[in-house]
């Protein structure tokens, strides 16, 4: 009986090595002055930024969900990495954390270096947009666990915050204003429902035209990253809510104290065409619980600070805070 190799079992070590070489330039493009060392060590090293009185380390992890299925089916893999970074760093800033560095986990049935390089290029782009460094990652080739064409992604972001700034709920008061930061599309939540509606129920394909372009472009539009806007407007913001799974209904109350409700004027929400279309086939209540409806984040601000925020962002007012049972009231 002849000997067998790891490659015979479905794992190509050489392909993995080639992949690491191929991504080095993308990874290095995200480095800042705090990155210590380079690529290839057993762990990424990052020096803590100075200037904090009581620095607190924050962490966030997430994935991209079944949006990946659309990327895999279409072969367009260069944007889901942006989604991965966005889902993590947008959570960090909700606790007034500034992202420092990011790590990724890429698991697949068979490593195709060109495909994996596209994914990591997207992750690097997401890191550049969020001004954080990609300091490490793991690529796992697992035949038998995944089919050859499938892969999964997970991301991990670490940030830093001033301890005194983290208790945002204490700063939230009745009379403050709710500012919507527009989303770039569906972002990375609700894709099981998206796929069920468009492909199973309506029989559409990714190449069908929607809003003047292939449906694929709308559905794979990468999640918007709000880090730079947060940094610019930090002094004017009292609290932030990342509108992910659960929509405005479930995410906005997470930044409210007991006895305070968010009053949202529904007609002021600039609903994107993709959500208007889906609303013809999905109940409105379900839409607002599953999707962001065009609002990627909600910022809470004092009335005196609203104009300053609106002047240097594309945000717009959708409501206010009032005394009442904690939750969201649409009017």
SS3 35: strand
In terms of Cβ atoms closer than 10 Å to its own Cβ (0-12, 13-18, 19+), residue 284 is: exposed
SS3 56: strand
Q: What is the pLDDT of residue 22?
A: 80
What is the value of pTM for the model shown?
A: 0.95
Kindly tell me if the per-residue pLDDT of 8 is higher than 80: no
Determine phi and psi for 11, rounding to 5 degrees. -115, 120
Tell me the CATH architecture of domain 169-330: Alpha-Beta Complex (3.90)
Q: Residues of the chain with pLDDT > 70: what percent?
A: 100
Determine phi and psi for 138, rounding to 5 degrees. -140, 130
Helix (H) or strand (E) holding 211: none
- Tell me the per-residue pLDDT of 17-53, one tens digit each, with 9 for 90 and over: 878 888 888 889 999 999 998 777 788 899 999 999 9
Listing DSSP states for 131-157 in one string gives T-EEEEEEEEE-BTTB-TT-EEEEEEE
Average model confidence (pLDDT) across the chain: 95
Instruction: Report d(CA 21, CA 102) in Å as an integer.
Output: 19
Q: What is the pLDDT of residue 24?
A: 86
Least confident of 56-60, 81-85, 107-111, 177-181: 107-111
Kindly tell me if the per-residue pLDDT of 1 is higher than 80: no
Top-tier CATH class for 13-166: alpha beta
| Residue extents of the structural domains in the chain | 13-166, 169-330
Check residue 255 and report its DSSP letter.
G
């Amino acid at each position: 009986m002849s000997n067998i190799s790891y490659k015979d079992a479905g794992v190509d070590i050489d392909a993995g090595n080639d992949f690491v070489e191929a991504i080095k330039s993308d990874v290095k493009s995200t480095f800042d002055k705090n990155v210590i060392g380079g690529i290839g060590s057993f762990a990424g090293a990052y020096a803590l930024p100075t200037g904090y009185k009581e620095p607190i380390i924050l962490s966030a992890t997430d994935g991209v969900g079944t949006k990946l299925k659309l990327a895999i089916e279409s072969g367009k893999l260069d944007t889901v990495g942006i989604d991965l970074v966005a889902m993590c760093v947008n959570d960090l800033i909700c606790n007034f954390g500034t992202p420092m560095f990011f790590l990724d986990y890429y698991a697949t049935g068979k490593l195709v270096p060109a495909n994996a390089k596209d994914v990591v290029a997207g992750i690097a782009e997401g890191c550049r947009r969020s001004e954080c460094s990609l300091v490490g990652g793991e690529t796992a080739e697992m035949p038998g666990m995944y089919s050859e064409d499938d892969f999964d992604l997970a991301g991990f972001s670490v940030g830093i915050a001033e301890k005194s700034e983290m208790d945002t709920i204490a700063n939230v008061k009745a009379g403050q204003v709710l500012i919507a930061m527009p989303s770039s599309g569906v972002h990375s939540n609700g894709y099981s429902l998206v796929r069920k509606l468009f492909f199973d129920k309506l029989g559409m394909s990714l190449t069908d035209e929607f809003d003047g372009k292939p449906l694929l472009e709308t559905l794979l539009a990468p999640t918007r990253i709000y880090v730079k806007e947060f940094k610019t407007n930090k002094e004017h913001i009292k609290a932030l809510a990342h509108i992910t799974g659960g929509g405005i209904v479930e995410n906005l109350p997470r930044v409210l104290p007991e006895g305070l409700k968010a009053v949202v004027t529904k007609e002021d929400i600039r609903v994107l065409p993709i959500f208007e279309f889906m609303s013809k086939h999905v109940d409105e209540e379900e839409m607002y619980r599953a999707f962001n409806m065009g609002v990627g984040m909600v910022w809470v601000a004092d009335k005196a600070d609203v104009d300053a925020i609106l002047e240097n962002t594309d945000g717009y007012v959708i409501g206010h805070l009032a005394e009442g049972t904690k939750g969201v009231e649409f009017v």
